[in-house]
Every structure is written in C-alpha cells, then in structure tokens.
Amino acid sequence: MLALLAKEVLELPDFGFGLLLTATAVGSTAGGLAAAAASRRFGPGAVMLAGKAGVGVAILVLGLVADAWVAAAMMMATGALMTAEKVVVSTLRQRIVPEELLGRVLSASRMVVMIGGPAGAALGGVLAGSFGVQVSFAVAGVFLILVALVFSPVLNNRALATAASG
C-alpha cells in the first residue's frame, strides 16, 4: 500500500518509495535506542499506548495529506513509535509471563500477527480498490487509535505494575 501511496498520491519518482522506507528505518533505529529510557521515564504502559495511538495518528495523517515531506515525517514517526512499543512489549512479556508458559504465549502472539497481517492487507486492498489508497490509510489509522483506546484500561502503567507484581 505504501508503494501505491508513494507513486499515485505523493507522485514520487520510483526511488521515492525507497526513501519512505529509509525514513521508517531511521525512525525505527531512534525508537529502538530510546525505548528503554522512555519506558523508565514514562512507564511501559504509557510507551505502549502512545506507541499504538501515535502510529495510528501518523497513518491517519498519511491518509489525509499528499505531501512527500509530511509523509516522510509520518513514516519516521511510525518507525520510532512502533519499534519503541515492540521493545517494551517484548520486555514486559518476558518479565510477566511465567517461564514455563513463555513459548506458548510467544506462539499465540506470532499466530495473531501472522493472521492479522494478511487479513489487514486484504481489507486494506479492498478499501483502496473501492475508495482510494488514502482512505485505506485513514481507516487503518483510526483503527489503531481505537485499539489503543480499547486496551488502555489494561495497558496503563498501574495495570501493568499490578500484573508484574502478581
């Protein structure tokens, strides 16, 4: 979908898609380096919720604008926020889940990702084909923001501290 956004909406030359991916990689590197410090300063729940909601906002913006510089900034933000969130999630999972269950929990998590990715791609393709590429991004962004809101009662710092202690 990003390739279509780069070519059809942003009207970038062929290498423009690669530049958007590079922006994501730069953001991912920064997010990975900042994850531990952000988790210590704001708490893991805040990093996870801000990560999910922030990625949602960035993807929503991709669906609303047609400016290559804004798109690059949003891809950089997406990379940073997504990576920071994943670092914190992985750390918490290993800290909270009993060792004897960790393999099963990791397998279940991977299964959700492996099913969710293709399902999301299919839905995104249908939306893009029916309503346009930007609508697909906007819907995905709103969905991620809603996911963050729905899970905020169990992914906040207080709930995670309770889970880690018990």
The answer to which of 11-15, 30-34, 93-97, 160-164 has the lowest mean pLDDT is 160-164
CATH code of the domain made up of 2-165:
1.20.1250.20
| Tokens encoding 13 | 């030359």
- Which H or E element spans position 162? helix 157-165
Q: How far apart are CA 163 and CA 161, in angstroms?
A: 5
Domain boundaries, the chain: 2-165
Question: With contact defined as beta carbons under 8 Å apart, do 134 and 9 qualify?
Answer: yes
Confidence of residue 71 (pLDDT cuts 50, 70, 90): very high
Supply the pTM of this predicted model.
Answer: 0.91
Mean pLDDT for the chain overall: 94
